[in-house]
Structure 1
């Protein structure tokens, strides 16, 4: 592991040499300069949080890989928010959450999404149907066109993923 001074120099050099290029890369992907700035910031924050020495032969290839992960997380977060807003729109106005509840619910959804990580979509769906909608194993199996034993396997897998995510937090 590099000393704190060396580590900061590595990040400073990487940032100074490639920050503008990375903003342009994100802008081409998103079409929005502000989001590009935000995601560039998030990309470099991931490096800072690691607190590990960086040995990079091809800085732009390295940053592209890291930025692709940041972008994928961004899009997944947008999908979660869109699904949440769609379900809110279906509620009667009297049942709509307050702005504070809305923010808390959205953050909880993002946390669950992070805990479920990169599990396959059918595993996530089975887990969410069970946890959020309270569906039985049979109902989930019918909805996802799966066997009950597969649904059970998926629920165990997703529960284990959440458990270990909480343990490592």
Structure 2
């Protein structure tokens, strides 16, 4: 069995390919360079060396996860900017405040993405749409008891995330 390639070898042999792969998906060489860089950082940050049988498949997996996070952040930012456009300019936050708010939204999204879909949906229906438990139960087609369990799970996650921060 051949020895696993080290990161230097992987970079030398596959960096150009990875950048091209990302550029095709993003349509932007600069964003592709950023995500390629992040891919290598993820690889360097690994605590344990990994035996890589198929380097390009391995790099693609890491890059796809980063790309998914990139699209999610971009979607959140666009939605936030659209919401800001609806506010009177006098109430618009400063650029610094906007960055803090956007970073917080991204953190919240990452936290909520760890929840199962139905739990996350119940929580968002409660917090964003203001639905009560009976309305959420009807919307999701589950019992009120199940909704209570969902909201408790989501609330607990948020509480302990705040406590840890």
- Per the normalisation by structure 2, the TM-score is 0.80
RMSD of aligned C-alpha atoms? 2.8
Provide the residue aligned with 1:19 in structure 2: 15
Whole-Å Cα distance in 2 between the matches of residues 62 and 112 of structure 1? Answer: 28
Shift of 1:123: 3.3
| Unaligned runs of at least 5 residues, structure 1 | 1-6
Return structure 1 stretches of 4+ with deviation > 6 angstroms.
Answer: 166-169
Q: Against the structure 1 CA distance between its residues 52 and 24, is the aligned structure 2 distance closer, same or farther, given a 3 Å change threshold? A: same
- Per the normalisation by structure 1, the TM-score is 0.79
Name which of 132, 137, 161 aligns with 1:137: 132
Q: Against the structure 1 CA distance between its residues 165 and 60, is the aligned structure 2 distance closer, same or farther, given a 3 Å change threshold? A: farther
Provide the residue aligned with 2:113 in structure 1: 117
Name which of 31, 43, 46 aligns with 1:50: 46
Whole-Å Cα distance in 2 between the matches of residues 33 and 27 of structure 1? Answer: 5
Say whether 1:72 aligns with 2:68: yes
Whole-Å Cα distance in 2 between the matches of residues 43 and 138 of structure 1? Answer: 42
> Is 2:126–2:133's contact at 8 Å kept on the other side of the alignment?
no
Give the 3-state SS of the residue equivalent to 1:17 in structure 2: helix
